[in-house]
C-alpha cells in the first residue's frame, strides 16, 4: 500500500525504521497501524527475527514466520548494508524525506558506523531520532550500565517488575509476555509523536531515548510510592491484590475467573449470588478494609462458590453487575465475540499459496480516521524499487539488491 492510500490519523508521517528484534519493531508497528509510512531498513540477511517459527507452509514465497509478522505488519521493507559507505549514504538520503528515524542498537553502535544522531541532524535538522536502549543513552543521562546488553527478562528484573509477580513468598517471576520489550516500544511510539509534534512547531528535531529499565520501572509504579512513603518493599502478590479484596483469580470447574467486588453494591450482589447474604454485614466482610484484614476468610468463601460453577455459569450469574472475567486461553480469545466486534484479530494474507493468518489488531480506535493493519508484513527488500522511486533516489546497488 502506497503512503497516499494509507488510512489513519498518522498518514502524513514517514518513519525510517532501523530497529530489529521486538521492542523497536513493536513500537513502529503501532505507528504503522495508525497510518504512518514505516520504511523498515534491514541488513542483507534481514531482521534477526524473520526466520523464527512458526513458519507458513509455503516458505519459498513467504520468508518470515509468525514472530516477525506480528510486529512488522503495516511496514515496507528495503535492504541496506549499513556497513558500506553506499548503504550509509542511502539511509541518510532517505532520512531527508522522513520525519523520524528509530533504532534500538546498543550505545555507540550507530555512532561508530558513522550514522548517529548528529550525522542525521546535519542532513535533516527537523529529524526526530528515537532510540531504545537497555539503560538509556548518555545523551539524556549517564547510567553505570549504559554499555550493558539487555533483553526483556533483564529489564523486567532490574526495573522491579519481576519482583512483584509470581507466587507469594517466591523470589519473583517475569511476565508471560515480553513486558520488558513491549512497554518500552509503546513508550517509544508516544515519545516519537510528541517529538514530531514539537519539531513541526519549531522546525527543529531532537534526540530522545527510552531505556528499557526506565520504562519497566515506570510500569511498576506501585513499588515506588510504597517504598517512598513508608519503606514498604512490595513482594510477589500471587493472583490477588495487597490492598483490595476480593480482587483475585478464583478457581472454577473448568478453569479460572477473576472477580473484583469492591463497592458495597458489588459485594452485596456477589453475596446474594453465593447465598451468603449474612456476609453483607458481617464484621469480617462488611467493607473493603474489613475484607482485606480477613483476606483468607473472604477468599476462601468466594473460592468455594466459584469452584462449584463453570466460568460460563459465573458469567451468566454476575456478568455486567460484578466486575469479573474468565481467564481466557488463546482459544478462548479467538472465540470471544468481543475480539470480532472490535476487529482485534484481523485476517491478513501471506505471500504465495499460504492460508490467511490472524494478527493482533490495533487497540487504538479512532471514530473519524480509523487505522488498522495497512498491509501484510513484507518479504525482505520487497518494496525497494517502490520506496526509492517515491523518494526520488537512485539505487546505488546494481540490480537493486544489496
Which residue shows C-alpha cell 550505545? 107
Q: Can 181 be counted among the known catalytic residues?
A: yes
Q: Give the active site residue among 137, 152, 181, 214.
A: 181
Whether the CB-CB separation of 132 and 23 falls below 8 Å is answered with yes
The DSSP annotation for 139-165 comes to: TT---TTTTS---HHHHHHHTTSGGG-
Query: d(Cα 133, Cα 385) in Å, to the nearest integer?
Result: 32
Nearest to 10 by CA among 125, 73, 78, 99: 99
Which residues make beta-bridge pairs with 251?
A: 256
Where does residue 157 rank: exposed (0-12), middle (13-18), buried (19+ CB within 10 A)? middle
15 backbone φψ class: left, alpha, beta (φ>0; ψ -120 to 50): beta
Query: d(Cα 94, Cα 39) in Å, to the nearest integer?
Result: 10
Known catalytic residues are: 181
Amino acid at each position: 500500500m502506497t503512503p497516499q492510500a494509507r488510512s489513519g490519523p498518522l498518514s502524513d508521517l514517514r518513519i525510517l525504521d532501523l530497529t530489529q528484534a521486538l521492542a523497536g519493531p513493536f513500537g513502529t508497528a503501532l505507528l504503522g497501524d495508525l497510518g504512518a509510512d514505516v520504511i523498515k531498513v534491514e541488513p542483507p540477511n534481514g531482521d534477526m527475527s524473520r526466520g523464527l517459527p512458526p513458519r507458513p507452509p509455503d516458505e519459498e514465497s513467504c520468508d518470515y514466520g509468525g514472530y516477525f509478522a506480528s510486529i512488522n505488519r503495516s511496514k515496507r521493507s528495503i535492504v541496506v548494508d549499513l556497513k558500506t559507505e553506499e548503504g550509509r549514504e542511502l539511509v541518510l538520503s532517505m532520512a531527508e524525506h522522513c520525519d523520524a528515524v528509530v533504532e534500538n542498537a546498543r550505545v555507540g553502535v550507530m555512532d561508530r558506523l558513522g550514522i548517529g544522531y548528529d550525522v542525521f541532524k546535519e542532513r535533516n535538522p527537523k529529524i526526530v531520532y528515537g532510540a531504545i536502549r537497555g539503560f538509556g543513552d548518555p545523551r539524556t543521562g549517564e547510567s553505570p550500565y549504559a554499555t550493558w546488553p539487555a533483553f526483556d527478562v533483564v529489564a523486567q528484573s532490574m526495573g522491579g517488575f519481576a519482583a512483584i509477580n509470581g507466587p507469594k513468598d517466591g523470589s519473583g517471576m517475569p511476565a508471560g509476555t515480553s513486558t520488558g520489550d513491549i512497554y518500552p516500544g509503546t513508550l517509544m511510539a508516544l515519545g516519537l509523536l510528541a517529538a514530531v509534534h514539537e519539531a513541526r512547531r519549531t522546525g527543529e528535531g531532537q534526540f530522545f531515548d527510552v531505556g528499557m529499565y526506565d520504562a519497566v520501572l515506570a510500569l511498576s509504579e506501585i513499588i515506588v510510592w510504597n517504598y517512598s512513603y513508608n519503606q514498604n518493599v512490595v513482594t510477589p502478590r500471587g493472583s490477588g491484590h495487597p490492598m483490595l479484596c476480593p480482587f483475585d483469580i478464583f478457581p472454577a470447574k473448568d478453569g479460572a475467573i477473576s472477580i473484583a467486588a469492591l463497592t458495597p453494591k458489588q459485594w452485596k450482589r456477589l453475596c446474594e449470588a453465593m447465598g451468603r447474604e449474612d456476609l453483607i454485614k458481617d464484621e469480617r466482610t462488611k467493607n473493603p478494609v474489613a475484607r482485606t484484614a480477613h483476606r483468607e476468610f473472604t477468599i476462601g468463601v468466594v473460592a468455594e462458590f466459584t469452584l462449584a460453577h463453570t466460568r460460563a455459569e459465573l458469567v451468566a450469574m454476575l456478568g455486567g453487575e460484578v466486575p469479573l472475567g474468565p481467564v481466557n486461553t488463546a482459544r478462548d480469545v479467538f472465540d470471544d465475540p468481543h475480539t470480532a466486534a472490535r476487529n482485534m484479530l484481523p485476517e491478513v494474507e501471506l505471500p504465495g499459496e499460504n492460508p490467511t493468518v490472524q494478527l493482533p489488531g490495533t487497540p487504538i480506535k479512532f471514530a473519524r480516521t480509523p487505522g488498522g493493519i495497512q498491509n501484510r508484513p513484507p518479504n525482505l527488500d520487497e518494496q525497494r524499487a517502490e520506496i526509492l522511486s517515491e523518494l526520488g533516489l537512485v539505487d546505488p546497488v546494481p540490480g537493486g539488491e544489496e
